[in-house]
Amino acid sequence: MKEIPLVSVIIPTYSRAKYLCTAIDSVLAQTYPNIEIIVIDDNGKGTENQLKTFEAVQEYLDNPNFYYLVHDVNKNGAVARNTGIRHSKGEYICFLDDDDEYLPKKVEKQVNIMENLEDKTWGGCYCNSYDYYSKKKYYITPNTLSGNLCAELLLGKAFIGSCLIMIKRDICIELNGFNENFKRHQDWEFLVRFFRSYKLKLIPEALIKYNYYLDGGNRLKTDKLLEVENMFLQTYRQDIINTGYGNDIFQKFLFDVAISFLRNSEYKKGCQILYKSTKFKSLTINQIKFVSKAIIKSLIF
């Protein structure tokens, strides 16, 4: 009888000690029995946040399947995930952000799918999620597709964050993990390279709870956002063109950056980027309405 495969769940953490235990507990509550948990503390050794994180994980340190690794300095989420991949021993790898939660059968259901994939081009699987805003359920992701979803991912028609996926460890190693130069779109850049050779199978069920809090999280704004968006578009330009929807994707990325500037009351820069986006494709009626709402909201708040 085949031994059930080990699953490695990697949890990068930065400045969220108050939420981390909820994430860890959701993995410990899984119905699947063969899991190792690897927490990567990216706060920087000896910092106030690292000391708070260490205090938070004290209760788990005696668990032989729990590993707590600390970066000497803050590096970023991609580096933290790669540290976890290097230290993992599982046949399959999952990721979990430090403020989100797995529902109890997430790992079990994904392993069942992975163990019955038809061929080697199916490199992983993903699921849907419940989105909670300040602890109130608001939205369920509407994913319905399986296969090579590069175009759908970049067009915002498939919602595939790293927390949703289970992937073969061998493929993570083959792809050299996440690109450590990216401070945003780390999930997307990894998946763009993944989709060059592999496909994802969907479990059309919400198995993740995404928590969005009023503190806003670790998000980039305006100039920093523009920098990383341009970096993504330049690095994966050919992949974007190869989807057959290049103009749509370039326009969408620039539009999203423009909205960030407009919301921050940086109207001149926002309008410049908005105009640049129309070089690829005209704004839709919904996008025009979105621009109006962003400007109005910035004036009110």
Query: What's the CA gap between 260 and 218, in Å, rounded?
Result: 15
Residue 21 lies in a domain: yes
- Name residues of the chain where pLDDT drops below 70: 1-2, 214-221, 301
Are 13 and 78 part of one and the same domain? yes
CA 130/CA 211 separation, integer angstroms: 9
User: Are residues 201 and 231 both part of a single domain?
Assistant: no
- Tell me the C-alpha distance between 189 and 182, whole Å: 8
> Looking at the structure, do residues 258 and 207 belong to the same domain, yes or no?
no
Separation CA 178–CA 133 (nearest Å): 28
**Which residue among 186, 212, 238 closes a domain?**
212
Torsion angle in degrees (nearest 10) through CA of 120, 121, 123, 125? -110
In the prediction, which pLDDT does 215 show? 53
Residue 1: predicted pLDDT: 56
277: in domain: yes
| 165: amino acid identity, one letter | I
Query: What pLDDT score was predicted for residue 114?
Result: 97
Q: Are residues 136 and 161 in the same domain?
A: yes
Counting the structural domains of the chain, the total is 2
In a domain, 69, yes or no: yes
pLDDT score at 286: 92
Q: Is residue 36 situated within a structural domain? A: yes
Residues 15, 116 within the same domain: yes
Identify whether residues 170 and 248 lie together within a single domain: no
For residues 17 and 112, state if they share a domain. yes
Question: Do 116 and 46 lie in a common domain?
Answer: yes
C-alpha 197/C-alpha 174 separation (Å) is 11
pLDDT tens digits along 88-103: 999 999 999 999 999 9
Confidence at residue 141, expressed as pLDDT on a 0 to 100 scale: 87
Whether 2 maps to a domain, the answer reads: no
- E strand or H helix at 184: none
pLDDT at 220: 53
Last residue of a domain, one of 150, 177, 212: 212
Q: Same structural domain for residues 252 and 190?
A: no
Is residue 31 assigned to a domain? Answer: yes
Note whether 226 and 208 are same-domain residues.
no
Domain containing 257 equals: 222-300
Kindly state whether residue 82 falls inside one of the protein's structural domains: yes
Q: What per-residue confidence (pLDDT) applies to 212?
A: 83
Helices (H), ranges, 126-185: 150-154, 169-174
SS3 (DSSP) at 138: strand
Residue 1 counted as domain residue: no
Kindly state whether residues 126 and 94 are assigned to the same domain: yes
CA distance 140 to 229: 26
Residue where a domain terminates, one of 192, 212, 232: 212
- Whether 146 and 232 map to the same domain: the answer is no
Distance, C-alpha 115 to centroid of its chain: 24
Contact at 8 Å (CB) between 153 and 191? yes
Q: Identify any residues that bridge with 212 across adjacent strands, giving them in sequence order.
A: 133
Are 163 and 210 a contacting pair, CB within 8 Å? yes
pLDDT digits (tens, 9 = 90+) for 224-264: 788 888 999 999 999 999 999 999 999 999 999 999 889 88
Give me the CATH number covering residue 51.
3.90.550.10
